[in-house]
Amino acid sequence: MKFREFAWNGFYIDVPESMRLTAEGGNLNSGYLRLEMEGFLMEVKWDPLDPKKAKPLAEVAESFLKTAKKTIEKETKKKIDLKAEIMEGRFISSHSAYSMIVKSGAREPIYIWNCNESKRIILVHFTSVLTEKDEIELTGRILESFRCHGKEDLISWSALNMHFALPSSFLLSDRRMAVGRTYLIFDEQKPSTFTERGRSLVIEFFSMANVLFGDKCKNLDEWFKVDYWKDLKKRCKNVSFRAAEISVQKVMRHKVIYRRGVKKSGLFWRRTTVSENFTWYCFKSNRIYSVSFVSYISRPFFLKRAINEADDRKVLQDFLSSFKCHF
């Protein structure tokens, strides 16, 4: 069985190549994800951890079982007796995990631990109808690779056949994953007295591009104006661009169409917004990628407004140099 790296919201896991992300939600601080393949399912849930108020892991496990019991009874409209067998603990990503197996029709190992580095309490739940030998071997391989924290300054994301890295301050705030079109939106906000400051990054790709857009794959300036600009304006307010140009920045040797614009608005509260867009066609994945970076500052009219363009350039440079649109 071949494995690949999966990275999402600060988790790094080796999973079988046939395993797919089927559900997810939340952000780096609190959320869930589900990965599936035939006969095997893996769920990861995480919540903020306050080391001073951390609950015993056995109490967290009991709460999980009660919630699962209520959910199953509501769906089946039958009373059930859901029990779990405590297993020998194991270390996961250098943490001592509470381990148990839920007694149901399938094998359901569950592992719970606190990660002080990422300040999260983490629960991993497997459901398997594989043979016990295959299930133990597979879960062991996954848990051995599992990392819930790292020493890197940037958080890596590796899923949906692409890879990139962003600062941890950029939180996944919105997403859409559909056939033919997918986008992820990351937001960073730094509110303070008399100042609203923030940055957004929109990563969007269109699959089967040569089928959907034909020759426009060779004329991305036309594609942007005709097929994309209206949608982008709805998603990112206050964006404005000058004429497009060929960027000196390339992504995996792909030629990139670059746009940049500055917009000023408001009366009492005045806002300056700097927008940048990078669009390219990846012939190997047959996708059109469009990445938009928006940085803004809003302050009362009597205060100066200045965007830290040097820091914005560093974030963009780190992001684009890490981006892989095909493997």
- For residue 10, give Cα distances in angstroms to 7, 155, 183, 260, 324: 7, 6, 19, 30, 18
Q: Regarding predicted confidence, which is higher, 70 or 111?
A: 111
Q: How confident is residue 273, by pLDDT bands cut at 50, 70 and 90?
A: very high
One of 3.30.700, 3.40.1000, 3.30.310, 3.40.50 is the CATH number of 155-322, namely 3.40.1000
Q: Strand ranges (DSSP E) for the chain?
A: 3-8, 11-16, 20-26, 31-37, 40-48, 83-86, 90-92, 95-103, 107-115, 120-128, 154-159, 162-167, 171-178, 181-189, 196-206, 245-246, 257-265, 269-282, 287-300
Q: Regarding predicted confidence, which is higher, 268 or 33?
A: 33
pLDDT at site 71: 83
Containing 302, the helix (H) or strand (E) segment is none
Whether the per-residue pLDDT at 73 is higher than 80: the answer is no
pLDDT tens-digit map of 132-162 = 999 999 999 999 999 999 888 899 999 999 9
Please give the CATH superfamily to which domain 3-151 belongs: Mog1/PsbP, alpha/beta/alpha sandwich (3.40.1000.10)
What confidence score (pLDDT) does residue 104 get?
72
Mean pLDDT across the stretch 187-202? Answer: 90
Residue 285 confidence class, pLDDT cut points 50, 70, 90: very high
Q: Give residue 40's pLDDT.
A: 96
pLDDT score for 245: 84
Residue 153: its pLDDT value, please? 84
pLDDT value of residue 200: 97
222: CB partners within 8 A, 6+ apart: 216
Residue 306, pLDDT score: 87
Instruction: Look at residue 267 in the predicted model and tell me its pLDDT.
Output: 84
Going from N- to C-terminal start, the domains of the chain cover: 3-151, 155-322
Q: What is the pLDDT of residue 79?
A: 83
pLDDT at residue number 244: 84
**Fold matches, 3-151 and 155-322:** yes
The whole-chain average pLDDT of the chain stands at 93
Decide if pLDDT at 89 tops 80.
Answer: yes
Question: CB–CB of 147/133 below 8 Å?
Answer: no
Q: Rg of the chain's alpha carbons, rounded to an integer?
A: 23
pLDDT digits (tens, 9 = 90+) for 206-247: 999 999 999 999 999 999 999 999 999 988 888 989 888 878
